[in-house]
Chain A
Amino acid sequence: MLLETVLAIGMVTSAVFAIYLKDTVSSVLSLSTMMILLSILYFNLNAPFAAIFQLALGTGTAAIFLLAGDTLTKKSDPKTSTKTILMGFVASAILCVPVIVGTVMTESLTQSVELSLSSALWDLRAIDVLAQGLVVLTAALGVVILLKEERRRK
């Protein structure tokens, strides 16, 4: 219960700072913190596969993509003032209230889940997995075409 509350408060606070910080690198770091806390929450919910995917894709890949994008499209980020940081803390404190109230009023959902993920993925959702592979390949092709077009223009 305490761990869940701490995780929820940390997630809301880091989410607020990911939006309100003016420096993009700090925003990406806040978002990564939120994603790490989310993956810990998934572990707590007995969803280890989702947690590992969240850690690998949500935290690692997304952070690398966003930092690379920020580096390649560099602009001078204004510094975040102390007033903005204080406003962020106030906003996150306000937003944490319903989360804490929800924690107190309801019981934990954490239950043991039988790990039959492979059967869920391959037996029941095989077409989805194949379609997802197609989506990933199409996205990769789209990125290559976009960046190659740019190089050709140069």
Chain B
Amino acid sequence: MDYIILSVTLLAIGIVGLVTKHDLIKMLIAIEMITAAATMNFVVFGSLMQDSMGQAFSILALSVDACVTAVALALAISIYKQLNIRDFRDLSEMKEESSEEENQTVEEN
């Protein structure tokens, strides 16, 4: 079976989710999907070449992926507790508003 097609399909679904969804948890789900699609290639090519290095790399990648998820979730929880925001667009709007306020204060001074 051509696993590359499956991997690319999963990658495409993940990228579409990352672009279209604005909820922080949903974005994390999309990132998980992208990393799973990428990690799959290590195992597939390792199996094809009869080499255990693919498994070794996939184990390393999975561990780092879990770390990334933990840190990103901690950031999401921190943002939610401080600003009561779970939508990425609201964060961007807040950033634009704060930069506009800063510009106004600079002009007034």
Contact partner of A19 (CB less than 8 A), chosen from B9, B13, B24, B60, is B13
B56 on the A face (CB < 8 A)? yes
Docked-complex contact A149 and B78, CB < 8 angstroms = yes
Kindly provide the distance from the CB of A46 to the nearest chain B CB, expressed in whole angstroms. Answer: 6
Chain B residue nearest to A107 in the complex (CB): B1
Docked-complex contact A109 and B73, CB < 8 angstroms = no
Contacts of A124 in B (CB 8 A): 53, 56
Docked-complex contact B50 and A66, CB < 8 angstroms = no
Docked-complex contact B86 and A117, CB < 8 angstroms = no
Contacts of A111 in B (CB 8 A): 47-48, 50
Docked-complex contact A62 and B50, CB < 8 angstroms = no
Contact mask for chain B residues 29-43; partner A; CB cutoff 8 A; 1 contact, 0 none:
110110010011011
How many residues on A have C-beta within 8 angstroms of the other chain's C-beta atoms? 76
Docked-complex contact B55 and A102, CB < 8 angstroms = no
Most buried by A among B28, B56, B73: B56
Docked-complex contact A102 and B6, CB < 8 angstroms = yes
Docked-complex contact A35 and B6, CB < 8 angstroms = no
B94 on the A face (CB < 8 A)? no
Contact partner of B1 (CB less than 8 A), chosen from A69, A102, A136, is A102
Interface residues on chain B, size class:
35 or more
Contacts of A5 in B (CB 8 A): 1
A112 on the B face (CB < 8 A)? yes
Q: A69-B73, A106-B1, A147-B78 are in contact. Are A45 and B59 (CB under 8 A)?
A: no
Most buried by A among B1, B42, B67: B1
Interface, chain A (partner B; CB < 8 A):
1, 4-5, 8, 11-12, 15-16, 18-19, 24, 27-28, 31, 34-35, 38, 41-42, 45-47, 49-50, 53-54, 57-58, 61-62, 65-66, 68-70, 72-73, 75, 95, 98-99, 101-103, 105-117, 119-121, 124-125, 128-129, 132, 135-136, 139-140, 142-143, 146-147, 149-150, 153
Interface, chain B (partner A; CB < 8 A):
1-6, 9-10, 12-14, 16-17, 20-21, 23-26, 28-30, 32-33, 36, 39-40, 42-44, 46-48, 50-60, 62-71, 73-78, 80-82, 86
